[in-house]
Structure 1
Amino acid sequence: MPAAPSGPTPRLDRIDLLRAVAMLWMTVFHFCFDLTYYGFTGQNFYDDPFWTWQRTCIVSLFLFTAGLSQAVAAEQGQGWPRFWKRWAQVAGAALLVSVGSWLMFPKTFIYFGILHGIAAMLILVRLTAGWGAWLWPLGALAISVKWVAPLVIAAISSLAFLNQPGFNALGFISQLPVTEDYAPVLPWLGVMWWGLAAGRWALANRPQWLGAGDAPARGFKRALVMLGRWSLSYYLLHQPVMIGLLGALVWWKG
């Protein structure tokens, strides 16, 4: 583990840019979902591959960039106090998502969505940041659980309890839960592990790929970088704003 830096450490703007892309894509996805919720469109976000694959790509991009960020934190010697401060922000935001979703969808509220998953995975990624090249096969193994778990549970019926809320936070399941968002530790930890492995390799071999040496961002690029840096706040605010505006439109038209 490298020594803790003595002063401010530079951010690598390309990671923020990548995170901003994920946030903007997610915003479009959620806006389309909200249009269906209010009856403006009739899309099937739960079964239509056009939408389910988009969600998979958005979550993958978001978690991959989270892994990249953890690689940078490990390289810069981030201490545990700073880690726990950031972790508490993510965990607190996850709790707010659960409360807000329960108010809108009491029967299908989010009890282990993307922020809950990230909070759990951040701890695991932090503890495994020094595992080097092993992160690649371990990531593949974690991702394979998506296909392996249903076969194992079908063969060993006593493991069916893993499908129940609470236990299904692990992700070793054969049945998807009925909830508005679900991002368990497995298989998604594999994506974050790959982001961590890719980040550590890039920092050692191609730091310019992550933005090392880039000039300060300007104009539209600067706006995207800021969005990437404030992604958690944006995540919490974008849906209430869009839902509120569409709800006001429905009320006005009615």
Structure 2
Amino acid sequence: MNLPELSAQSLADQAYRALRAAIVGGDLPWGDKITERGLAADLGVSPTPVREALRRLEQEQLVERTGPRSLRVVTVSPQARIESATIEAALEGVAARLAADKATPEQLDRMEGLLDAADEAAESLRADRDAGRELGPDQIEQIFNAVRDFHAQVELTADNAQLSRTLEQVRAFSRSERLRIASAQIHAGGTPGQVQRYGQHRQILDALRDHDGDLADRLARAHASSGSSDLVGWDH
């Protein structure tokens, strides 16, 4: 496991951010057994800031204690993932509604640039596939990140701290799982439904440009509810 060493300032906060990122990114997998001392050694700090960071992660229900000194990353049930996806879809609709009201031309242009980057990466990936070349994980993640950055920019434009905190909690286990599903979909080829879903990003952007909060809300909710990955429709 590759965890970054930490500096001396705000070690507990840094430990919390590093460990949370490791959980979200899948470097600390679901059900993985962890110890304060082991994590402290990986992070290059004493156990004290790690202990405080783990308390915060326990409160977020991202880790759980299995004994006085033993912990593990929680395992998320299929039902819990379904419920989280439903909550996330509703919140993404709210984010799009707020963003439609607040978006500046500069922010909208930034969103368009992110979708352009996703299209360019998808075109490169499609060319490699058509040429019979092996699709690398870095290429797949490049598209995934570009599309996720688009959604992050919508959320940033919504500019609501409470909404962002709630979305962060709901999405805690979604990234690694969605990237895994997306990679499998790409290797298997696309479907018309995936193509349609990929194109929904442009529809959301058009609604934001028109400052149509109702439409942006509906499109974002439908998009979030229509599949488990944003990296779909890449071979449109």
TM-score for both structures, normalised by structure 2: 0.30
Identify the structure with bigger relative contact order (alpha carbons < 8 Å, sequence gap 6+). Answer: 1
TM-score for both structures, normalised by structure 1: 0.28
